[in-house]
Each structure stands twice: as C-alpha cells, then as structure tokens.
Structure 1
Amino acid sequence: MLCSGSVCGEVRVWSLPTSTCVGCFQAHLGSTEALTFLKEESMLLSAGSDHTLQLWSGGLGCSVTTLKDDECEQEPPQKKLKSTRSESAAVCVAVNGDFAAVAYQHEGVKLFSLVTGEKVWNTTETSVQCLLWITLDPEKTEPELLLAGGEDSNLRAWKKKEGEEGMMGGLESVGMFTAQTGTILAMAQNTTYLATASDEFTVALCLLSDKAEDLASEPHATLRGHTGGVTCLAFSPDGEKLLSGGKDQALMVWDVASTPPALFKLLPHAHGDWITGCVWTPNCVISSSNDGKLCLWDLEVGQHLKEISWKRPLLSVCSLEQYVMAGCSDGALHVWNWDTEMEICHIAAHKKRINHCSLLPNTDEEKDAKAEDMTVFTASDDGTVQLWKPFQVEHFSTFQGHSGAVHGVVLKEEGEFLSVSEDRSLRCWTWTTEGPRSLRGAVTALCFHQHDDMVLAGYESGLMELWQNHKVICHKQLTNSPIAAVCSMPNSQFAVSYLKTLLVDVWKLVWSKQRDTVSLVKVSTHKVSQPVVRLIYCSTLLGITHNATIIEPLRPKEDDTWSCQGTNWTDRVIIRGISHNDDKSIWLVGEEDTKITIGFMFVMGPSTLNYSCFSSLVMEREEEEKKTESMMTAAAVDNGTSTAGVFSVSVYVDYYLHSERTIWSQKQKNVCHCLLTSIS
C-alpha cells in the first residue's frame, strides 16, 4: 500500500501491484506536507500546512458501528461465579429498514436498532443458521415477516407487534412450519417463491401466495440434484432463475419460471471444496468456497471466466456493481474489483472467522446508491456484527499545537513521534490506539458527577466518555445519534437524551470491588414525544424540549400528561440556560424577541410537575442597547445574578434581578455556553 499527499490537502491510497489509485480522502485544509506510517503500517500520520497533524487508519476500511448485546455488563455479583459464558457466534444478519436481526449459534435471534446500536428484542428458542425478511403481499414495499431456519428443520416466523411504532416494541411469533427435513442452511425470495435449502441435499420452493393464506401450507416443489447439503441460494435479478451451491462442490441453476421448475444448468466441479456463497452480478455469477477462491461464471454457456484466489477459506460473498466483498476464515473482509481482479482493500474486521457478509440495502429510492458509499455487514464467531465503509478511512485523532505549517514527522519510539514546523519548534507527541475508535465530531454535552471528581462528556457521534484526573476511565458508544444533554442523578446514575432519537436513557456507573475499573450499565429507557435538549435533576428528572416545554421523562405514559402546565413559555421563549437554586428549585434564563426572560420553578417531587410553582419576569434594555442586533446563545443564573452570552457581537450581559441596572462589557470571542461557579 502506498499513500501520497497533494497541495489541496488530499491523500490518495494506491495499490502497488497494479499502480492504481483505490481511494482518496481530504486530510487537511491546506497542503499535505508529510506522511508516515506507524504501528506496522496499521496507522497513517499526516502533517499539513493548516498547522495540524492527523492520525488515520493505515488503509481503506472505516468501522461505522458494532452490534453487540451488552447484557454481560451487569453489576458485579455478590459471589464469584464458577464459570463464565463464552460468546455465541454471530451466524448471519438480515436488515429491514432501521433494524437488523442477528442469528446466533446458541442464542436464537436478536433484533438491534441501527440508529442506536442497541438490542430491542430477542428470542432464544433454538440455534439458528439463516435469516430472511420476506414480503407475502407483492403490493407491499416493506417486508412483513422475519423467518429463521434452524437445526431442527423448522422455519419460525415473527412479525412486528401490533400498535407499536416501527419495531422498537419488538416482534411477536406468528407460527412455525416445516418445508423439508434436515438443518435449514439458506433462504432466498423472489416475487413468487420462498426458497429454502437443506442439509438433506434439497431445495424447497414455497408459493408466497400459499403462505399468506396458511403458513403451514405444503411446498409447491422440491428440487433434487445435489449430492451434499445445499449451503447457499440466490435468485437472478429477473427472478426466473435460482442459483444453488452445496457441499458437493457443485453449482446448479434452476429454471423456476417453467412448470414445473427444472434444472437449467449444472456445474458439477465448480470448486475444490464446499461452496460457501453465490451471488448474481449484471454480467455473471460469482461463487465463494472453502478452497479460498472466488470464481466468475458465464451461466449461459456454463463457462468459467476467471478466478480470484486467496490463501484462506472464503466463507461468504456479496457484490455491488464491479466490486465483490468476501469474508475470510481469519476474520478479514476483502474487497476486489472483479472486472480487473485487483484487490481494493482488506480490513482486519474481526479476531475470529467471518460467517456472513452482506450489503446494507439502499432504502432511499430517490437517491442513486454509489458503490463507493456502500456499507457492509460482517457477522463473526467473536459474537459481534460490524458495519463497515470499505472505501473510507478511519480518523482517530487530531494533534494541535503548532502555529505554523508542519513540514516533517518521524517516529521516535513506540507511542511517540516528533514533528517540526515553520514556527521553529520541534515537538514530541504521544499517541495511543487504546482510545475509542468511534470518537468523532464535537463535544455536545457536559456534566459533572454529583459526588466524585468526574466529568461526563457526550459527543456528536453518540459516544459517552467518563473523565477523572485528566484521563478517560470509561467510554461507551451509546447511540449513533448526537448526544443532546447529560444530567447527573442520585445513586451514581445519569440521564442522557439524544437529538435524533425520541428517547431518554438512564445509565449507572458500576465500579469493580477494587474501584480500579468502571463500566456504564443501562438502567432504563423512556420514550418522549419531542427531542429533549436539556436535562436537570431537581427532586425529579426534568427535560426541556426545543419549544420550551418542560417534561418529566421518567413519568409513565399513562400517568396523566408529561407537559408542565405551570409555565407560559411554550412556543414563546427560547431557553438558553438552566441551573439549580437548591435541591427543589431551579432558575431558567431564556430569550423572547431579544428580551431576556428569567424564570424560577419550585418542584415538590416526582409526578408533581403540574402543580409546581413557576414565576418569571422580563428584562428590558435601554433604547440605545436595542439598536445592537445580536442573538443570545447562552445564559446562566446563580444567587440572583444572570449572565448571558450573545452571538456575533460577543457581549456579556449582567442583569441584576433586584435592580433595573444593565451592565455591558465588551469581549473578543463569541460565547456559546455560560457557566457560573465558585472558585476557592
């Protein structure tokens, strides 16, 4: 792999065997001055004329998120357990909209939200080998049922719970049926048939119209011809042909448009070992095998066109346009251009073998999906499902400190490097890969822990960090949505709200017995009707929405109403700041038509918000001061004094609540947040 920088700040990634550019990304705002690889070429350090150094992954392949059940992260038990549970292998993935169903070898099926990455439902009925979302009604665009094929030869079906928004309420069982004997290893669907493949050498075709009337209806046809278990199925784009591959090393093409369905083409010795996957492309079909080969076939003439060889077994395959992706037994995800046979990248996706890889479907019909923007799922024996952007690089961190262009970097020793700049300084930096890989974007929420010297930081990427003594002691990817607010609560708990998710979560800090490690454990999740942009705990948890409505997120839905009827600020005032007066009262500072509004609320306790006392007053400015057009962005109140920050004019405004005096003081920088505190 070769990387090169340019005067426009772009870095290009090159394949040396073919002398071809396989990717590019914007590294700096100015020219890229220097590049060097770190940690056995797994990391790339770039230096730019924009005075910064940037740390990137050493090649293409960006991790988007990880789907993993966190039930193992519970409070430490009182007694030491005699044994620990090993991770159950993730076998396959099936995606429906914003949700992904994952099959596990010994733990059934779990449903995850792709927005938050959290588990929303699970069943542990049997060991599942394959999953498929199917549509029984051809007039419907969204899949209706989730099917799971198990080792007991049964197919189980679930549907979305009635009355639930999306699938956040989970799924409910609608029945079970048997199409053939033996373990069900693969499934596929066109507009007419559901095809299932068995370890007993057969392929069953079930009419979807029959299944819509009676899930237990008999198969329409059974296709026989394989002499080993059938491991993979794929319908042609027009739905008239069905491709099957098996443990007998054969590929078979079936004409399912004929009556009855019949064998169309036989390739008896397609590979030297089990066939693990097959997929159609616009010009050919591709098969993968335990023999480490990807073979391209012209099925019209039954001719082998070309092959791509690897040194380890390839266990799954998927394709988009001219690119083919394959999961390997060593945990790597490989991307090739099958037209040129050039490897684009190989990603160290997992530490154990990849059982399944598939593409994230394009749900936006108005937007043309580009192959370079694809997202690939990988399911592994390590018990996790990863989402990857194969054509993107991963950004780890930015190093700032130089006041001039950085012209050179060199590795000093493990974990340290040197940089030299136009500012005539030589600097030594420390870097580590132990930090959270998913840390991206700005800090969007901060909160001090109530009793300890710790700070909670929420990020635009949905990452939460816990800081103590100038270092991160714990981190967790809570969601893929930006974190809007964080609030400390009693009993080492804290509440979190999100900008793009109508949820408020309560988390708890759980320490080990030696108090040397800490983890974040979710306590509860509460749905809200609007995004909560501010949180504060005042004898109960209070949330504030964009339109200045004050709610109790922890109050049950059926308990009267969530809105606070004691305020008249809703849809009128933009709340810029909120702070404690004491344990049962709070100050609020807002803006209404360039006027500053001060509010005071007394809260008696949980479920008493509608009866709490609220009062407010408006601060007027002098006529000369009103000529200054500026927008307030932040405010704080403490001991009867209000401080407000304004945008563009950069002014601090002090309002004394017990007088009519207004004091202005000029500053040089914009104010985004205000905080009043005492310093001893």
Structure 2
Amino acid sequence: MADVFISYSRKDKAFVRALYAHLITLDREVWVDWQDIAPASEWKLEIKRGIELANKFIFVISSDSAQSEHCLYELECAIAHHKQIIPLVCRDLVEEVLPAELAQYQWISFCSDDDFGTALQKLIEVIDSDLEHSRIHARLKFRAEEWERSDRQSDFLLRGTELTEAQQWLIAGASKSPKPLALQQDFIAASQDWQHQEATRWKELYEIAERERKRAEVAEVDALNLSSQALFTANEQIRGLVTAIKAGKNLKRAEPPIEMQRRTIATLRQIVYEIRNVNSLQGHRSGVRSVHFSPDGQLLLSGGSDGSVWLWSRNGRALRSFNGHDDLIRCVRFSPDGQFLATASSDRTAKLWRVNGEWLHTLAGHKAGVTSVSFSPSGHVVATGSIDGTLKLWTLDGELVQTLTGHSRGINSVEFSPNGQFFASGSGDFTTKIWGVDGQEQRTLVGHEGWVDSVSFSPDGQLLATASGDRTVKLWSVDGQELKTLSGHRSDVTGVRFSPDGLRLATASSDATVKLWNLDGQELHTFVGHNDWVRGLSFSPDGLLLASASSDRNIHLWSLHRTGLQTLFGHSDWVGNVCFSPDGQCLATGSSDCTVKIWNLQGQVLETFKGHQNWISSIRFSPDGQLIASASGDHTIRLWTRDGRRLRTFSGHRRWVNCLSFSPNGQQIVSCSGDGTIKRWDLEGQVLQTYADHQDQVYSVAFSPDGQQIVSSARDGSVRIWNLDGQVAQVFPTLDATVMSVCFSPDGQRIAMGGGDGSVKLMGTDGQALQNFLGHKATVRCVCFSPSGNMLASSSVDRTIKLWSLDGRELQTLTGHTDWVNNVCFSPDGQSIASSSRDRTVILRKLDLNLLSLNLDQLLTLGCNWVRDYLHTNPYVEESDRLLCEGIAD
C-alpha cells in the first residue's frame, strides 16, 4: 500500500519526477502514473485501485491540471474514497480555474520563488501526520467494502487482535482526518457483535461441557467429542486432534454406552484420516512474510514484519532468532549448500549471514525497500529486487556486480533458474521478465491483469509459474509461451512454488488459504487454517511437507503425504450423479447444466455429452462398460457409446426421470419417474413393462444382483420389491419420511434405504428391520453398498458422507463438499469413493481401509504420533497437555 498517490498534468512531469525522487529517497512509497494514457476503461480501473490503496492523495495544482479531465477524475475518486487531499502548487495559475473541491485546503507551494527544501519538509510532515491513522483507515475501508460486497457475511469480519486494534483506532480517530466512515463503524460494530455472539456461543458450549463433565466421566467424553468436531470443523485441526485424543483416553477409563464408544472412535478416526496440519510454529511478534526450508530439509528459516529472522528445526523447535534489519523482513533464503542465509528488508538493504546467525555483509544500494533475494544455484551470486524497480547482482563478498533496469514499477519477486543460466523477476507493472546471467533481458511475459507477486521455476527449469494480484497463477514455458491459467483463489495470489518433483504447484493467497494443484490446473487440495494473508511458501526437499507463512503470525506445516483427495471441476451447475466405469478407470457425471462428462482418474475431462434439454438426474455404465445411460428432467433416457455418440432416446415417461439402472446382464434398463411409474426397457427403447403401484413420485429404482427383481422407493415413504412380471413381491412398512434412495446389497439379501429424516435403514428382503443408522443431520440423498457388501456409504444434505459397518457402527465421516452431497459410489475394487454435490464439484478420494479396521489403541497411537512435535515444541500448548501422549507407544 503506497503512502501517497500523485495526480498531475503531463506538462508538470519534470516537477513530479523530481518530487518522486525526493520522496523515494526519504523511503516513502509513492504511486504515480508515468505511462501514456491507456484505453479509458483500463486506465480508470488502474487509477481507481491506486487511489483506493494509497493512504493520502497529492494534487499537483497548475493551470493545466486544474482543467484536466483526467486529473479531475482522479480528484473525484480520492474524494469518493475519503482520502486526505494534499494540494501542491508547482507554478502560477489563474485562481478562477481552480476546482472548488481544493479551495478548502491549505496549499503547499513549490513555485520557483519558494524554497524547495522547506516545502518538501512541510509535505513530509503532512504525509507523516497521522500516517498510521490513514493507513488503518485505508485498510479498514478496503475490508469493510469487501464485507459489504459479500452481503455482510460473517466470514469477512474482524477477529482477535485485528478487532482490538480497530476498536482503539475508532475511538482515537473521532477527531482525526480522514474521519471514520459510517461503513467502517458498522463493520467494526458488526465484528464486535459477531465476536460477542461467538464468545457467548463457545462459552455456553464450554459451560455445558463442564457441567456434563462434573456429572460423570461419560459426559466428559461426549463433550470432548463435540469440542473436537467443532474445532476440526473450524479448521483448528491440531487442537481438534488433541481434544479427540483426550476423549479417547477418557473413554478407556469410563464405561460409556456402546453408542458413545462408537461415536468417540468414529470422531478420532475421521480426524486422523483428514488432518493435514502437522505443526504450527509460533514466535514472531507480528505477521510472517517469508519462509524457506534448508537444502537438507532439517531447518526452516522465517522472516517477519517485526524485523526478526527465526531459525527452526524441522520438528518445530525454535533454535534462534537474530536481528539486524531496521524494518520488516520481506524475503529469506538459504544458500544452495545451506551454510549461508540471505534476508531482504524494507530498510532498503539485503544481508548475508552464516547459518549460526553471524552477520557477514550488508548489500546496500537500493533506493527503496528490498522485496526479494535469491542465490544462484552455484551459490556464488545473489540477486535482489526492489520497490525502486531495479535488480542488482552481488558477489558473496557483498560487492555489487550489476544493476538491471527494465521494469516500470517495483519488483516483487526474483528467482534463479535451476541451471543458473537465467533468472526471472515479477513486478508491479504486471509483467515478468526473464534475464540472462549476463544481465541481458531475454523476454517479457505479459498476460496478468495485476501485479506479479511471486515467480517460481520448475525443478527441470522448463516451466515458470507466476502468481498475481489478479487472483490467478499462470504457467509459462521458459521461451515465453503461456500454457495454463490456474483460477480458484478468492483474492490476490501472493506466492507460488513448484514441488520438488515438479508435478505439483502450491499457491498462497490473501484469502488466507493455500492450494495444491497439478500441472493441468486441477485443484488437488485446499489447506485451510490461517486467518489472515498467506505470504510465504516452501516445500521440504523430500516433498513431504509444505510450510506456509501468514500475517496471522503463524507458520503452518502441512503434510503432503496424505492428500489423497482430488476435486474435479468442470460442471457449471449441480452435479447430481456420479458413477465409476466397471473397469474403475474413469468416472461419469451428470449435472443440472444438462451435460454428461467422462473423466479419467487424474481429473481430466475425456468427453462431454450434450443433448438433454434439462437436468441430468441419473447416469450409469452398462456392466461391460461400453454403454452409458442418462436420465433427465426432460422426461427422457438417452443411450450413448462411451465416446459420446448418442445411440437412441427412450421416451415414455410423462414427467422427469429420477433414476435408472442397468440389469446385471446389460440387456435391460429400469427407470422411475415423477409421474409415479417405473418402466423396464430393452436397449432398443421398447417398454417391456410398466409398474404403477406407487401413489406418488418414484425417486429411486434398482435391479437385484440376479436381475430377477426390482426395488423402488417413493416420496410418500413407500418401498416395494417387484418381480419382473409386474407383481409386487414385498411391500415394506411405509416410513414417516420420503425415501430418496434404495439399493440391494451385493448378495441380494438386504435393502438399504436413505430418507428425508436423515436416517439410513437396513432391511431384509423379507421386510424385517435389521439396523437403523443415525448420524446425519439432514436428508440422506443416496445410499450404496461397498463391492464386498460389508460396508455402507450414505451422502446427505448436511454436506457429509458417512461410512457404516453393517452392524450399525459409524466408521467415518468424510467432509469436503460445501453444499448438499447428492450422490456417492464406490470404485469397483472398493479402494476409492466418489461423491457429487450441489457445489458443482465431484470429490474423488482414496479410502484408507486399514484405518477403518483400527481399534481405539491403534488410533490413539496414530494420533499421538501426529501431534508429538506440536505438544513438545509449541509455546502455547498448556503444560498439562504436554504429557498427553505419555504412555502411548510411538
């Protein structure tokens, strides 16, 4: 964020250049447009953003600027954004042409008869007066407007120390300029209310848990279960696991009901399966801006806004901190041999150190803050980039070798290629440049619509990734060809790094998330746990860990070994149905966007089938995998070849078709409809039988494994088994809620039902009730058996998938979707599970079948092995918790 924005007439350019140079020398960040006027829409957008992000607004008054359409537009923007206006006079003018908006302000005169140094000193005093107030005003205005644009969602409110600082600013700023805006006051008040409500809610939960704990050990286990789930859901992953371990240990001492035992084990199993946060490193007194693993992966280096540099062991223990800079640290790096460190700072210097913290050299010469530093692969050359728009190359002795210019704005990132023949720089001028080590500019990469914050070469040096304020990451070949754009973050992408194997990318964003991608642009995983901007990223050399540094003062270590979850993006509306091909090599999905898509297991779309005129409600592969049938809200069924060729359309239902199923021999299809009927068809589209005993919409239908019977369920809660000739073989007692899904077990002896009351029921085909599975909090949309028949999966409007053993035990709850989970299915080998959702995505995940069979002691061992480093090294762990895992074998 700049200290000032300068508005001026192009005829006063010489004066502005001189003024700019003095301000930069005095370490003030300045936003000024040196370029010729771009197309109106682009120029206005850029100017508006520059003004919005600047703390104060300088208007250089002259007869030309006073009549300039562009200058007056900039003045209007500054007033609209409540910026403090600082008028400067650089030459005489006719007062009658002065804009009325400037009349109320006292000018600072830089006319030829005035003393420039005196005027400059007065300007600096005005700029610095209440500068912190102006900075906070600008930041809170930006956050408040973001909150307003989000329809005032609580996710965008202030929390913790941010809220405390904002409250103090509001009280102190009542008599200052610019005055707090009504929106800012509403924003802070809403944040206070929300925090109070949250504090009240958590206090009530805690008090309830305490009362229950005092009443009995059994109740304590239950309360810990609730707390661990709440913490984990709130992305406090490690604390959630610690609490789940406490519940498990207390369970061993108590004698709770069998249902509570199952619930405790299921919660611990879920967290052990889903946890990704390995440790949280805390020590910096303010935001952490950069982090870097040592070449051997045993050390971690971090630099923060508090001006300190910290060295950590891989297990999270703080080894030492050292200081030497006079301002915030923007970048830290290990040398290739791990013996030296480089740090870059806003104090306009970079420094070289030994790994023991001994200072060696200061690299001084930049005229503004140094934003980035990089060692060449040989370790003999150091490159630095600065807000002053220049790159500098240095020897390890601190001698300046060369200064490179070419960017029109500040440089945010610099990195050498793995072979040391090139290095890249990303700039606020929206471009990335590739330079030879001789200092010659090789090429300029143009394509981003915002500043380039971070650059990263792939390990083989053939690709370059760039992260931008336009919320995207771009992949380029080193010859400058744009290959791919990665989109998914909700705000500026502040960092990007290749994994050591070069197969994945990690990105950091001001939306407080870290994302993992493959090189095809598919988002593999989102790491959520920070509560402020994530600015720094570093992979461990073995590729098992990813470190992220954030303005929330935390460094999180994430496990990459257990990201067996893949999200498939491609549909533009609800994904209602998903199924595996019989060979398990691909997936088919049907969506409300009226398309069917075929995907490989790497998340790539192989085919898209178009033709239906309404939503796709059901989709199935034929048993031999050569045909695909789709049912739709357009009242039809379509039969396709696997490569997307439409064979024929089945017409006969009078309302939407809700579900379909192939017979085991693949020669027939059965379908059900909102018209209350079930139809059995041959593959030529001829109706073989119509079943019309249901009195309401029929939601689900399926063949028995031997193909001799059909099971169906309806909105009125009725479930029936039919013989192929249309005779009802079994009528189940009508349930109290709609039955959305029904299916046979692989052995054909049982029926699973999922209903609108959130329950899953297991029935014998003779009508006998076998089990009632309770755990979902909303309608169950789909139920299915595993191929072996020893497990059930259910998906729900409550956004979860649950895995059950047939004796009624909840084995695991799978999360990840952000809206209803419409459908779930097992892969043919039972090793994976796919789910489709109203959030427009499909999630494909590997199942840890060994984990599902572990007992409580084994789960406690896994959990304790995960949190041992955190318990031993984190300074904020309660002392009573440090011994939590004592006596549990590692």
Instruction: Please give the TM-score of this superposition, normalised by the length of structure 1.
Output: 0.45
Larger strand fraction of residues: 1
Larger helix fraction of residues: 2
